[in-house]
Amino acid sequence: MFRILIADDEGIMLESIKNSIQSNFGSECQIVCVKTGRAVIEQAEFFRPDIAFVDIQMPGLNGIQAIREVRKFNSSMVFIIITAYDKFSYAQEAVNLGVMEFITKPVNKKAILDVCIRLCARWRKPARNSATT
């Protein structure tokens, strides 16, 4: 089972992304949604997501600041930035923090699913053949 964190201060955006993932992956994923950068850090520590979709502009800590804090204790979590901003400084800092990808708003359902499909395929382990072991 894959654990996915979705962080955006817009409830409609959270539900849209969550529903897109659930409708295609169903019980393969456990999803937690949060609305602040501080909650991203808390959930990264307690929920331990494999993937996090994080908006840049959120109340309190922004997405970049939250990712920076998470990287101090979790280097394996995959981050995907969701943003309406196309500022180069955000992209540059995100790359330095190991962010995998940027998805611009309005979010395209296909872009979200493509990222999930690629990551899930990378992490799935092939079934072992008991006849060869």
C-alpha to C-alpha distances, 19 to 32, 40, 99, 119, nearest whole angstrom: 12, 19, 23, 18
Tokens 């800590």, located at residue: 61
Q: How far apart are CA 67 and CA 90, in angstroms?
A: 12
Weakest-pLDDT range from 13-17, 46-50, 69-73, 113-117: 113-117
pLDDT in tens, 94-125: 777 888 888 888 888 888 888 888 887 776 64
Show the domains of the chain with their CATH numbers.
2-123 (3.40.50.2300)
Q: Considering the entire predicted model, what is its pTM?
A: 0.85
Tens of pLDDT, residues 20-45: 999 988 888 999 999 999 999 999 99
